[in-house]
Amino acid sequence: MPDRLKSLAAFLERTLLPSLVRLCKACAAALRRGITAARHLRVRLVLLAMLAALGYGLYRHPPFSTVRPSEVLVRMNTVNGTATAFTSGTVLRLPGIHQLHRYSTRDQVYRPPGSDSATGRAPFQSSEGLSIGVDFTVRWAIDRARVARLSREFPDDLNADLVGPAVQGVVYPVLARHTVREIFSSERAAIQKEIMLQLAPRLEALGLHLRGVDMGQVDLPQEYRAQMAKLLAEELETQKIRYTLQLKEALVKETLLEGEADKVRQQKAAEAAGEQQVIAARAQEETMRHILPFKEKQIEQRRLEAEADKVARIRSAEGSAAARLIEAQGESQSRQRLADAEAYRLELIGKTNAGQMQREGALLAQYPLLIQKTLADKLSDKVQVIIAPTPAAGQFIGSNLIGSGAAAQPTDGRARVEDRP
């Protein structure tokens, strides 16, 4: 038994041990190659992660900016402090080096806040010391030529930080020099022009262009508005009375002028009527002098026309009589020819009928059954006609139909008529 174990151990040592050694060596080599490949793969993964992070950063914060229509883009270099303005295209922006500012080139609108109402938080003051509200609208635009140079001084909100103080510094003093009545109605256009003249240089100094100033609704205090409405009503009533008096004076003058015009018109009409009657009498006299010879010629012409008409009628009657005579002769000849033609036609028809009857009599004498056949052809398709010779005396009428006896010629033509089923 131990010898067998020793032999088995020797066999296993000779066969399996070299294979196990080679397998262990191969596993060790594969492990070493896997560790080396893992190191290279880790480096590649790190590089790929860095590239992905860089791409995501460029996607989230691209280094390029596009200039949109109706705007100007100013790029400021934080290193050397230079600024460049762009009106179109794509601009490179390096993070930490460049700063971009966008400014609209369209007209901007500024309205003083709280100044459009007399009870607001920032009303205007008139020369009488009354608080009034005025709806001011200031239209301005940025200066494209100086935007690059002045962009370092521009605040974020141009309306609140630049335009607002300039407008308040001009509008408040100008309105304080005028009364409420001047602001409300009489001097509105002059006040608006004065504000534009003073505000334009201030905005130009700030790098802005003034497009216009619109002065809208004026809000007055309630008491002053009531008094002004009353005063305006009285002024309107006074003006109405004055205009009424002027209208009545104009109506009186118009009545006088119309009376004088009617008087002159009647005089002129009477003179014109008299002259017209004189001219008409003269024209009638002149006309009669020319009409009388014309009337005589007209009477002579009518007499000649009557004679010519008489002669024409006589000749027309003679021609009609001759034509009727010729027509009667022609009609008589025509009737005679028609009678001759009709007699000839009847004669030919009689001869034709006689010949035809002669031929038919000969045919019937030769074929007596032709009469029954003709009668059978004329009958309806629902009646069956059988033509057979006449049987001998004392025999059955259908003996010739069933074949009894020899066929004989019929002595007289007869036919048997049977109804079809």
**One domain for residues 35 and 116:** no
Pair 385, 414: CB distance under 8 Å: no
Q: How far is CA 124 from CA 40, 131, 204, 214, in A?
A: 78, 6, 25, 16
67 in a domain, yes or no?
no
Instruction: Specify the pLDDT at position 383.
Output: 57
Residue 398 pLDDT more than 70?
A: no
**One domain for residues 119 and 216:** yes
Beta-strand ranges (E) seen in 67-167 are 71-77, 83-86, 90-92, 98-104, 108-110, 124-125, 131-142
Q: How far is CA 111 from CA 25, 124, 139, 310, in A?
A: 89, 13, 9, 110
Number of structural domains (the chain) is 3
Residue 277 pLDDT more than 80?
A: yes
278 in a domain, yes or no?
no
Residue 82 pLDDT more than 50?
A: yes
210 in a domain, yes or no?
yes
Q: Please state the φ and ψ torsions of residue 78, each to the nearest 5 degrees.
A: -75, -10
**One domain for residues 120 and 178:** yes
Instruction: Specify the pLDDT at position 356.
Output: 85
349 in a domain, yes or no?
no
> For residue range 4-38, what is the model confidence (pLDDT) as tens digits?
555 655 655 666 566 667 777 777 777 777 777 76
185 in a domain, yes or no?
yes
**One domain for residues 38 and 139:** no
Domain range enclosing 34: 16-61
**What CATH number is attached to the domain comprising 215?**
3.30.479.30
> For residue range 148-160, what is the model confidence (pLDDT) as tens digits?
777 777 777 778 8
254 in a domain, yes or no?
no
> For residue range 281-322, what is the model confidence (pLDDT) as tens digits?
888 888 878 787 878 888 888 888 888 888 888 888 888 888
**One domain for residues 114 and 32:** no
Residue 374 pLDDT more than 80?
A: no
> For residue range 100-133, what is the model confidence (pLDDT) as tens digits?
777 777 888 888 888 878 887 888 888 888 888 8
Mean pLDDT for the chain overall:
77
Strands 383-388 and 208-219: unpaired
Question: In the listed set 220, 250, 277, which residue is the last one of a domain according to the structure?
Answer: 220
> For residue range 193-232, what is the model confidence (pLDDT) as tens digits?
888 899 889 888 888 888 888 888 888 777 777 777 777 7
155 in a domain, yes or no?
yes
**One domain for residues 55 and 137:** no
Question: In the listed set 61, 86, 115, which residue is the last one of a domain according to the structure?
Answer: 61
Percent of the chain with pLDDT over 90: 0
Instruction: Specify the pLDDT at position 206.
Output: 83
Regarding predicted confidence, which is higher, 221 or 394? 221
88 in a domain, yes or no?
no
**One domain for residues 142 and 199:** yes
Length of the chain: 421
Question: In the listed set 220, 245, 272, which residue is the last one of a domain according to the structure?
Answer: 220
Query: 203: how many CB neighbours lie within 10 A of its CB?
Result: 21
